[in-house]
Amino acid sequence: MNDLELCQLLADAADELTVAAFLTDLRVEQKADRTPVTEIDRAVETRVRELLAEHRPDDAVHGEEYADTGSSERLWVIDPIDGTKNYVRGVPVWASLISLQVGDELQAAVVSAPALNRRWWAAVGEGAWASWTGSASRRIRVSSVDRLEEASLSFSSLPGWNDLGLREAFLGLHETTWRQRGFGDFWSYMLVAEGAVDIAAEPEVPLYDLAAVSLIVTEAGGCFTSVHGRPGPTGGSALATNGHLHTTVLNALQEQPQ
């Protein structure tokens, strides 16, 4: 079993647990960072870690709910439920994010959103792909939009932009673009990868939320950096575009209000 095939197997295991518990009574706790966690978040990550111990026992693991394990350059990055706030409220926009990073390079990734009947995946150099339940997989590509005035922007929320001192710059970008929607979380980035959205941005976000989506966006032909331009998913924030707009958006976010 190659690494992408293992990503798919892990996603299947995650889907089995998340779907069974969705729209049921859940125990919801608040973590130190004031984000919610349920017994299903923990159960999914535990199951994924068990399968990794079986299939890749020498690899390291970085997840949202438990401490890092291992010291290998091969690092599995897991977000058991991206969109837990949606999950606990019955909103079907949530996904399990699973990826493998070797050294500094992401190699394989899966984003599985079973309540949407959607899954996306990528392996380095092999493009990005998507499927719907009951449909054949298809290769996906970013859009060709090259003007902000014609671009669709997806974002999560406003408070973090203020913390970065970029609230006014972000609002300026918001007002310049053609269409703005708060799809949020993994879905913003998958819509960029599919070419349905042209720009997605978040001011504060950890690695486990970004590793899988970043590879899928770049394998779809897009560009993925922090909001300050640091390449990849490790900059603490995220800007994903179709590539044509990336420099323009970075410049817009660094502009200071007059």
Residue ranges at the known binding site: 64, 79, 81-82, 209
Residues at the binding site for Mg(2+) are 64, 79, 81-82, 209
Query: Cα(237)–Cα(106) distance, rounded to whole angstroms?
Result: 17
Cα atoms in the 13 Å half-sphere on the side-chain side of 41: 24
Query: Cα(38)–Cα(86) distance, rounded to whole angstroms?
Result: 12
Q: Is residue 21 within 8 Å of 56, Cβ to Cβ?
A: no
Q: Is residue 88 within 8 Å of 38, Cβ to Cβ?
A: yes
